[in-house]
Amino acid sequence: MPTTAAVSAPAPTSNSASSSLKQNTSLPTELLASISIFSKLSSGQLSSLAAAFVGLKTQEGIAVAVKGMSNDAFYIVADGQLVVSLHDSTHFLTRGDYIGLSALFEPGNFPFSVVPKSFKTEYKLDQATFIAHLQANPDLTIQILSSLSKNVLNDKLSIASTPSSKVSPLSKMTVRIFDNKAYQKQLFISQNKALGLNYDLDFVSEKLTAKTAHMAAGAQAVCVFVHDTVDEDVAKILKQNNVDLVAFRCAGFDTCNVDACDKNDISVVRVPSYSPNAIAEHAVALMMAINRKLILAGQRVHTGDFSLDGLVGFNMKGKTVGVIGTGKIGFFLIQIMLGFGCRVICYDVFKNPDLLKNPAVTYVELDQLYRESDIISLHAPLTPETQYMINKESISKMKKGVLIINTARGGLIDTKALIQGLIDERIGGCGLDVVEEESDYFFENVAEKPIKSDIIARLLTFNNVMLTSHQAYLTHEALSEIASCTLKNIEEFQQGKRLKALKNSVNKLYLGGKTSE
């Protein structure tokens, strides 16, 4: 069973299902026939027993049962969704699923809480009515006793669907996708169809913040990107709106307060890897553009200036490239650098076993990497340990003219120190796909507005700085993988896994101190 926090259940006012409203509808016989001990009944017997059930409708969030409450009835779900919490696991029950079968034979106490997740219809058969029905129908009694001999009652009958391991999917689930962009929308729609998930995808252009979190109302999950904020205030608002999942459609989750989400029983997932070679290739593109002065060269020829003054670069072969962070992205970058004939040195707290086997790659301490590298490329996540790892002190240790490439997180670099290093010509150039204070600008068209960020405005004045708008991941292959993995993460959540039980759960990945992506 998947591990998750128990569902809190508002207590009903009296015995089981007391908050339910009686309906005059009849139990469909096919639902009754789907349960093993009733599966061999004749059509007449099924119709007769089905007529003994009472139809109920229950309001969302009003408990059908609370753990420890006495129970003498059997319930079958006809539509909507029941959330059942048992020990440290959660089950979702929908049409054809049932609870309390053993209560027909021996009343007891509910070992779990039962809370409707959405407006639903269920059918109830209490023990007294069931026994009276058996007494009036000897043939029915014989048939059920025969089925019971093959289906020994046990604890599972109190909760299980058919089969007991089944977790029923939702027929419909609304996913609100914040910070939507046109190039992402169509891929999510096509992947939703290709995977057969039939989710109701609702796209909104606003970023998720405390001011916009109310827009999550009516959705069971929200999908967010790198500049969306999931802090303590947002987590509380999402919980108030019955949102149980935050699905990051990116690898980084440094804008997420994981502890706050845990406290509110909100699961958080991410896309741990999407075409890492795309990001590595973009890092190389930045590297080459700065080295070979491609920005300046391109600008010149469009003005009729075909001179070569000031465009001298250097050969990559034989240069030392320092790679900080040797996860999947760093690994691909290293392969490309080796192809150029570079000497590669790298740093990571967690050393990549495949690179340890490669005699062409050497792990060193950071000070040595700073001193010896002609080019430094960053591929680390942003953690308290890695924030501002490129700073005034580390820059002072670097070779004069070093190139710095950052396609990871803006906060890895103290940008004011970087700017001073460019002014002092200690840094020969830098290629930045990420930068501090980017969230108000990147992914948006702000051509009509002034750039109020002093550090971004200053960086744009240097002709040896190439700044791209967090687009290293932006390939068709990567976008397709992001959409597919995000939807699969949501599907896994929908199937009953929660918090740390999810494959790509941030709740179990938030370890702190890890320096590779």
Residues with active-site annotation: 409, 438, 470
**Is residue 363 a contact partner of residue 348, using CB atoms and an 8 Å limit?**
yes
SS3 category, 188: helix
**Gyration radius (Cα) of the chain, Å:** 30
Place of tokens 């005699």: 359
Residue 65, both tokens: 């049962």
Q: What is the DSSP letter of 279?
A: H
Q: How far apart are CA 277 and CA 507, in angstroms?
A: 26
Instruction: Compute φ and ψ for 74, nearest 5 degrees.
Output: -115, 135
Q: How far apart are CA 101 and CA 37, in angstroms?
A: 10
Place of tokens 């001011």: 211
**Is residue 233 a contact partner of residue 254, using CB atoms and an 8 Å limit?**
no
Tell how far CA 329 is from the center of its chain: 20
Instruction: Compute φ and ψ for 240, nearest 5 degrees.
Output: -60, -25
Spatial CA neighbour of 114 closest among 66, 168, 61: 66
Residue 490, both tokens: 């949501």
Residue type, 182: A
Q: How far apart are CA 115 and CA 353, in angstroms?
A: 47
Place of tokens 């009509």: 448
